[in-house]
Chains A and B, each alone.
Chain A
Amino acid sequence: MSLTSADISRIANLARLELQPEESSRMLTQINGFFDIVEQMRAVDTSGIEPLAHPLATVAEVALRLRDDVVSEPNNREANQKSAPAVERGLFLVPKVIE
């Protein structure tokens, strides 16, 4: 299996990455090189095997923990917005999205 440059631009769009033409062609070569080593994986018979998401599920029941839905944090807006690129009156600024 080999990716094409059309695949690369489709994936880049999904990933929200703007790639320059020379970057795209380098990416194509490198990703295809990578998928050469992935091929061996596709041949493995995994019928009846459950996918493993949490490694400790190998030996124990693992349930994703939920915490009580209660307020635990103090208001820390100013500190949390200190590293934001654009803020006004406590709001994050983005380019216009609704006309």
Chain B
Amino acid sequence: MMSTELHQLSLAELARQLREKKVSAVETAQHFLGRIRAHETLGAFVDMNEEATLAQARAADTALAAGNAGALAGVPIAHKDIFVTKDFATTAGSKMLAGYRSPFDATVVSRLAAAGTVTLGKVSCDEFAMGSANENVAVPALGHPTPAPVRNPWDTSRIPGGSSGGSATAVAARLAPAASGTDTGGSIRQPASFCGITGIKPTYGRASRYGMIAYASSLDQAGPMAHSAEDCALLLSAMCGPDPDRDSTSLDAPAEDFTRSLNDKLDGLRIGIPKEFFGEGLAPDVRAAVDAALKAYEKLGAKLVPISLPRTELSIPVYYIIAPAEASSNLSRFDGVKFGHRAKDYTDLLDMYKRTRAQGFGDEVKRRIMIGTYVLSHGYYDAYYLQAQKIRRMIADDFQQAFQQCDVIAGPVAPTVAWKIGEKADDPVANYLADIFTLPASLAGLPGMSVPAGFGAGNMPVGLQLIGNYLQEGKLLNVAHQLQQTTDFHLRQPEGF
């Protein structure tokens, strides 16, 4: 096998070749490190540490030679810059954490490392994971003198989506066979959709939040982004599992082998089609790709069942009350005392807090802290925060009702394909509205994924969203994998990469 072809392989195939010693982990790491360097213009990577990467690769080769290697031995991965890492800088895309070094690895990172993955570096994200376009970045990417938006490899004048935009771009451009992501309101599914890759957000609590810099703790969830459902299943199997001592909301659900049910047939599968996901806000090109995928499912023996998620539109204000409320609390730790940025000049402690935070946080983060502080403040708590939490339950109950009629739910991930860089940069509300189809499952804590379903306007990728009931990740991956046996959208590559 020529090493120039390594980036064309699926993660599953790469893992196989590593096990069979057709290629070494060091060779593999070097190949991808070279690709990252060659494509710095995309702005995907924010930190690398070749020495650490190659040391991990050598350890994988040793384990492979000794025959005691993990399932993912030697498989390279990029980590979203929201996971803390010992060997790489961690900034969460913020000036607040410029130069920060974590003394420990996030549980997701260490679990993947225990399975044998080799970390290529850290990939860009919206500041503290707040954004839908990866334009809210305050730290420069490698090879860039100043902060720059991440570019979508399918059209470099467009955004990759967010907040896991660097992860999506890195995978789509074959700079890494896989990347970790986090999803609070759609941050895995939407960039996966915009970049034509596969991504899954598991049930809330499946993957540990320990070492994942907190944005909205009742929503934040880690998951893998890769080319196929099979690749995601391999990664998710390594990522999930209880972390009872370090994450108080970690579920007591045992780790699973999510590849086990990939090949189950879909005969008789009931796919719920929420009518609210197909209204006038949905662009016709996206609708056409989604409809085609649904037709493919019918050919595979599935049955489409019309359902209703009547509070879909309400999920926007509900999410944008709850998430900022939690963010305003979580981000109070950034006060210039224990870590991170501290203002140079100040008169007293209060002034130090205020100037430190004014300098360290970007516009979108400040906006969400302000909204969150307001809705939690005396006299407004009941009307906004509590009301939002009550509607959150109604939204979650709507899903349970829908799941009485269907096994999985399918629809678009986003109303449009990826937009142009800068197009919505000055209009936060326009960004919020574009999250409409991913927010409901986030609020309900349900697993959801994006599966490449075709191409829309500007030849940009379109993702199909699949939503499952609690702990039904295996079913979702099975449903996605079966589509990928009859379509090749997940194998397409952007030109020039």
Which residues of A are at the interface with B, using a C-beta cutoff of 8 A? 3, 7-8, 11-12, 14-20, 23, 27, 30-31, 33-34, 36-38, 40-42, 44, 46, 49-56, 58-59, 64-67, 72, 76, 79-86, 92, 94-97
A-side interface mostly: loop
Minimum CB–CB distance for B288 against chain A, Å: 28
With a cutoff of 8 Å between Cβ atoms, the chain A residues found around residue B321 in the complex are: 38, 41
B-side interface mostly: helix
Minimum CB–CB distance for A14 against chain B, Å: 5
Q: Is the CB–CB distance between A97 and B394 below 8 Å? A: no
**Choice from B369, B371, B387 contacting A41 with Cβ under 8 Å:** B387
Minimum CB–CB distance for A23 against chain B, Å: 8
Q: How far is the CA of A95 from the CA of B1 in the complex (A)?
A: 62
- Contacts A/B (CB < 8 Å), 18 sampled: A15-B370, A16-B335, A18-B355, A31-B374, A34-B429, A37-B317, A38-B384, A41-B388, A44-B387, A46-B394, A50-B390, A55-B392, A55-B445, A55-B446, A59-B400, A79-B103, A84-B338, A97-B348
**Choice from B353, B386, B389, B470 contacting A16 with Cβ under 8 Å:** B353
Minimum CB–CB distance for B398 against chain A, Å: 10
Q: Is the CB–CB distance between B358 and A19 below 8 Å? A: yes
Q: Is B361 an interface residue (CB 8 A)?
A: yes
With a cutoff of 8 Å between Cβ atoms, the chain B residues found around residue A34 in the complex are: 320, 367, 371, 428-429, 432
Chain A binder among B16-24, B245-253, B255-263: B245-253
Q: Is the CB–CB distance between B428 and A46 below 8 Å? A: no
Chain B CB within 10 Å — which of A66, A80, A85, A86 has the most? A85
Q: How far is the CA of A97 from the CA of B274 in the complex (A)?
A: 57
With a cutoff of 8 Å between Cβ atoms, the chain A residues found around residue B377 in the complex are: 11, 14
With a cutoff of 8 Å between Cβ atoms, the chain B residues found around residue A14 in the complex are: 373, 377
With a cutoff of 8 Å between Cβ atoms, the chain B residues found around residue A7 in the complex are: 374
Q: Is the CB–CB distance between B244 and A42 below 8 Å? A: no
Minimum CB–CB distance for A45 against chain B, Å: 10
Q: Is the CB–CB distance between A95 and B218 below 8 Å? A: no
With a cutoff of 8 Å between Cβ atoms, the chain B residues found around residue A86 in the complex are: 342
With a cutoff of 8 Å between Cβ atoms, the chain A residues found around residue B355 in the complex are: 18
**Interface flags, B213-232, vs A, CB<8A=1, else 0:** 00000110000000000000
Q: Is B100 an interface residue (CB 8 A)?
A: yes
With a cutoff of 8 Å between Cβ atoms, the chain A residues found around residue B248 in the complex are: 64-66
Q: Is the CB–CB distance between A82 and B384 below 8 Å? A: no
Instruction: Return the 4 tightest CB-CB contacts between A and B, nearest first.
Output: A55-B445, A51-B389, A85-B342, A52-B393
Q: Which residue from chain A places its CB closest to the CB of B203 in the assembled complex?
A: A56
**Also in contact, A41 and B391, with CB within 8 A (given A15-B370, A56-B204, A56-B445):** yes
Q: Which residue from chain B places its CB closest to the CB of A47 in the assembled complex?
A: B390
Minimum CB–CB distance for A48 against chain B, Å: 9
Q: Which residue from chain B places its CB closest to the CB of A49 in the assembled complex?
A: B390
